């Protein structure tokens, strides 16, 4: 995002079009953050995104978790998710890896009621599969908290990417 001055002068529609997917398919968080302008620094903007998210009810956290795509097998994804999964080579899985992702995604969703979420940036498909195999053994509350941590990591990575543009 060019300059902080330009950012603070954006209208709500433009702000939401830029920041509406910081939290997967959750434009309402961007709308709430828009109302907290002006921002003195980009870090302050990032902190406000995280703060708004953290102050939401558990039901809203669950809605955000559910909005995330399945790893490696989802066909319809946001541009951000597609870029992130592609960067982690999840679009280059072998037949066996795809079958394992399919099986793990199904079992995970059945157990936790939301898709497996991990900040894939900087990871490869083997690291992601290993995390998947470990985390599926977690207790429900433990995994919910881990998914929340991962969602915040994804949001901060997306905010960092927007800041580079």
Domains of the chain are 4-164 (1.10.3330.10)
Q: How many CB atoms sit inside 10 A of residue 50's CB?
A: 17
Q: How many CB atoms sit inside 10 A of residue 27's CB?
A: 14
What pLDDT, on the 0 to 100 scale, is given for residue 2? 53
Give the torsion sign (CA, 10, 79, 161, 159): positive
Cα distances from 21 to residues 53, 78, 86, 99, in angstroms, run 13, 8, 17, 29
Residues with Cβ < 8 Å from 21, sequence gap 6 or more? 27, 78, 79, 80, 158
List the catalytic residue out of 68, 123, 125, 158: 68
Residues with Cβ < 8 Å from 31, sequence gap 6 or more? 12, 16
Residue 68 annotated among the catalytic residues of the structure: yes
Full pLDDT tens readout for the chain, 165 residues = 458 999 999 999 999 999 999 999 999 999 999 999 999 999 999 999 999 999 999 999 999 999 999 998 888 899 999 999 999 999 999 999 999 999 999 999 999 999 999 999 999 999 999 999 999 999 999 999 999 999 999 999 999 999 987
45: nearest Cα among 94, 101, 82, 3? 3
What pTM value is reported for the model?
0.94
What pLDDT, on the 0 to 100 scale, is given for residue 165? 76
What pLDDT, on the 0 to 100 scale, is given for residue 31? 98
Residues 23, 144: contact at Cβ < 8 Å? no
What pLDDT, on the 0 to 100 scale, is given for residue 75? 84
């Amino acid at each position: 995002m060019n300059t902080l001055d330009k950012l603070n002068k954006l209208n709500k529609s433009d702000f939401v079009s830029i920041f509406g997917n910081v939290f997967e398919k959750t434009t309402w968080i961007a709308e709430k953050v828009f109302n907290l302008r002006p921002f003195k620094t980009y870090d302050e903007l990032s902190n406000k995104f995280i703060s708004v998210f953290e102050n939401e009810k558990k039901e809203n956290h669950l809605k955000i978790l559910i909005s995330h795509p399945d790893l490696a097998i989802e066909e319809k994804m946001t541009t951000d998710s597609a870029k992130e999964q592609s960067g982690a080579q999840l679009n280059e899985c072998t037949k066996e890896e795809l079958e394992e992702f399919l099986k793990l995604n199904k079992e995970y969703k059945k157990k936790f009621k939301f898709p497996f979420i991990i900040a894939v940036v900087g990871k490869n498909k083997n690291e992601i599969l290993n995390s998947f195999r470990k985390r599926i053994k977690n207790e429900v509350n433990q995994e919910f908290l881990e998914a929340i941590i991962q969602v915040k990591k994804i949001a901060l990575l997306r905010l960092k990417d927007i800041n580079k543009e």
